[in-house]
Amino acid sequence: MKIYFNGKLVERQEARVSVFDHGLLYGDGVFEGIRSYNCLVFMLKEHIDRLYASAQAIWLKIPISKEDMIKAIISTLKANKLRDAYIRVVVTRGEGDLGLDPRKCSHPTTFIITDKIVLYPRQLYAKGLNIVTVPTRRNIPEAINPQIKSLNYLNNILAKIEAITFNVEEALMLNSEGFVSECTGDNIFMIKDDCLITPPTTAGVLAGITRRVVMEIAPKLKLKIRESLLTRYDLYNANELFLTGTAAEIIPVVTIDSRVINDGKPGAKTLSFMSEFHKLTKIKGVKYAL
Ligand code: PMP
């Protein structure tokens, strides 16, 4: 397996970061998770824009241009002969000393891993997920803004641990005010009557790229779009619920906190979103040839 590492394609064993890298010592860095489908990197420009926006927000200058980052991603996919892949792009603050001061880190570390990912077993897409609301709250935007896709995922990992202890696959986090935010690696949507509803990014959620695609599909399914603050009560009384994310794509939710949604079956509109989404994975993005 070839890894892009600071400008070069190297073997996996050679792709090593320093124990002094602040990405490791402090979670000081940013990342993206991207997918390619049949030699098309889905929504690549949007992911690159978000990566650079995350970096800008943490005062990190990515050493290469957006165009070169796109080239680096494509050459890594080609070097690994991957048509369908999960792509992880990571930029850390780089090697520094044991203090926090980012000015001591003279050069960011950049690496790109291209591999496969299976987030949920296939049958869960047909059966739907059970999720629970967990005690851990989403970071407040005034601390680490959840719009920054940083290497600091401990907030989400704590929520995931709670989901695991409840014996379910995914955790729903509320924000500090008790409104619905998002799951540990996915945005959440509900359908009520003729409306598709999701929390606004100001509720403390990542501006998901899949979220954006789903909102583009909604008018085609004759649904109005609303971004509004939601409570657990709203979710319990939804007609349909689903999660969205690059790795998970669109996955139905059939119970939340043991409240059964749509008689415990994935909703018809959710299934339509899933099939429209798969059509878009064939056209929206940047193509490459192996
Ligand atoms: N929220 C969080 C916390 C995430 O980590 C992710 C996926 N990386 C998402 C939402 C979904 O975002 P996207 O659709 O861009 O993958």
CATH code at position 109? 3.30.470.10
Q: Reduced to 3 states, what is the DSSP secondary structure of residue 213? A: helix
The answer to whether residues 78 and 146 belong to one domain is: no
Last residue of a domain, one of 93, 115, 137: 115
Catalytic residue among 2, 8, 81, 149: 149
Could you tell me the pTM of the whole model?
A: 0.97
Average pLDDT over residues 102-128: 93
> How far does residue 165's CA lie from ligand 1's centre (Å)?
22
The answer to whether residues 151 and 242 belong to one domain is: yes
Task: State yes or no: pLDDT of 33 exceeds 90.
Answer: yes
What integer pLDDT is reported at residue 211 of this predicted model?
Answer: 98
Atom 9 of ligand 1: nearest residue by CA position: 186
Whether 185 lines ligand 1, by a CB cut-off of 6 Å, is: yes
Average pLDDT over residues 122-147: 96
- Atom index in ligand 1 nearest the CA of residue 212 equals 14
Task: State yes or no: pLDDT of 116 exceeds 90.
Answer: no
- Atom index in ligand 1 nearest the CA of residue 210 equals 14
d(CA 79, CA 2): 7
Whether 175 lines ligand 1, by a CB cut-off of 6 Å, is: no
> How far does residue 186's CA lie from ligand 1's centre (Å)?
5
Whether 108 lines ligand 1, by a CB cut-off of 6 Å, is: no
- Atom index in ligand 1 nearest the CA of residue 205 equals 1
In a domain, 290, yes or no: no
> How far does residue 204's CA lie from ligand 1's centre (Å)?
12
Q: ∠ at Cα 59 (56, 60), nearest 5°?
A: 80
Range of the domain at 66: 2-115
The answer to whether residues 111 and 153 belong to one domain is: no
The answer to whether residues 237 and 131 belong to one domain is: yes
Average pLDDT over residues 136-151: 96
Average pLDDT over residues 76-97: 98
Q: Reduced to 3 states, what is the DSSP secondary structure of residue 60? A: coil
In a domain, 147, yes or no: yes
d(CA 197, CA 228): 7
In a domain, 175, yes or no: yes
What integer pLDDT is reported at residue 117 of this predicted model?
Answer: 78
2-5/8-11 β-pairing = antiparallel
Instruction: Give the tens place of pLDDT for each residue, 168-187.
Output: 999 999 999 999 999 999 99
The answer to whether residues 132 and 259 belong to one domain is: yes
Instruction: Output the domain CATH number for residue 257.
Output: 3.20.10.10
Whether 36 lines ligand 1, by a CB cut-off of 6 Å, is: no
What integer pLDDT is reported at residue 281 of this predicted model?
Answer: 97
Atom 6 of ligand 1: nearest residue by CA position: 185
In a domain, 285, yes or no: no
The answer to whether residues 258 and 234 belong to one domain is: yes
In a domain, 287, yes or no: no
How much of the chain, in percent, has pLDDT values that exceed 90? 98
The answer to whether residues 102 and 164 belong to one domain is: no
Binned at pLDDT 50, 70 and 90, residue 120 comes out as confident
Q: CA nearest 131: which of 86, 184, 191, 199?
A: 184
Mutate which of 246, 277, 280, 284 for ligand 1 pocket (most atoms within 8 A of beta carbon): 246
How many angstroms separate the Cα of 246 from the Cα of each of 86, 88, 234, 258, 287?
9, 11, 25, 26, 17
Active-site residue flag, 279: no
The answer to whether residues 181 and 70 belong to one domain is: no
In a domain, 188, yes or no: yes
Average pLDDT over residues 10-14: 97
Average pLDDT over residues 108-117: 94
Residues in contact with 218: Cβ distance below 8 Å, sequence separation at least 6, in sequence order: 196, 224, 225
How many angstroms separate the Cα of 54 from the Cα of each of 101, 111, 197?
19, 16, 25
Task: State yes or no: pLDDT of 118 exceeds 90.
Answer: no
How much of the chain, in percent, has pLDDT values that exceed 70? 100
> How far does residue 97's CA lie from ligand 1's centre (Å)?
31
Last residue of a domain, one of 115, 136, 168: 115
In a domain, 272, yes or no: yes
Last residue of a domain, one of 63, 87, 115: 115
Q: How many domains does the chain have?
A: 2
The answer to whether residues 100 and 131 belong to one domain is: no
DSSP one-letter string for 74-99: HHHHHHTT-SSEEEEEEEE--B--SS
In a domain, 289, yes or no: no
What integer pLDDT is reported at residue 58 of this predicted model?
Answer: 98
Task: State yes or no: pLDDT of 39 exceeds 90.
Answer: yes
The answer to whether residues 55 and 84 belong to one domain is: yes
The answer to whether residues 95 and 188 belong to one domain is: no
> How far does residue 98's CA lie from ligand 1's centre (Å)?
31
Q: In what order do the strands lie in the sheet with 29-37?
A: 8-11, 2-5, 109-115, 85-92, 29-37, 40-42, 285-287
What integer pLDDT is reported at residue 119 of this predicted model?
Answer: 78
The answer to whether residues 46 and 163 belong to one domain is: no
